[in-house]
């Protein structure tokens, strides 16, 4: 991670799932309009018990390709 592209700091809290933290591919990213929060998910239906809060930096360490979404506007979603 040579250059941080997000407006948010690396230690900002983001929402994800334990599946992402275990290495499953991130297929769904949202940048919530209401509060500016980021969410990183596998795209599968998730249970509330799957939810985890981690630093944005941790997500980038798991999958640096999410840096391509650093300018995703508020209220937008990206899928792959």
- Which residues span the domain enclosing 24? 13-79
The reply to whether 4 falls in a domain is no
Residue 66's alpha-carbon distances to 13, 30, 34, 78, in angstroms, are 15, 11, 21, 10
pLDDT digits (tens, 9 = 90+) for 59-78: 999 999 999 999 999 999 99
The sign of the CA dihedral 60, 55, 53, 40 is negative
Residue 74's alpha-carbon distances to 19, 31, 62, in angstroms, are 25, 5, 23
**Mean pLDDT in residue range 7-25:** 97
pLDDT for residue 45:
85
What is the chain's mean pLDDT, rounded? 95
The reply to whether 42 falls in a domain is yes
The reply to whether 5 falls in a domain is no
- In degrees, rounded to 5, the angle at the alpha carbon of residue 33 between the alpha carbons of residues 56 and 18 is 35
> How many domains are there within the chain?
1
The reply to whether 2 falls in a domain is no
């Amino acid at each position: 991670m040579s250059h941080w592209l997000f407006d948010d700091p690396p230690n900002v809290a983001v929402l994800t799932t334990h599946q992402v933290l275990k290495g499953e591919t991130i297929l769904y990213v949202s940048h919530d309009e209401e509060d500016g929060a980021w969410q990183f998910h596998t795209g599968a239906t998730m249970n509330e018990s799957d939810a985890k809060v981690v630093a944005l930096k941790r997500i980038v360490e798991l999958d640096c390709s999410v840096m391509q979404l650093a300018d995703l506007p508020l209220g937008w979603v990206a899928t792959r």
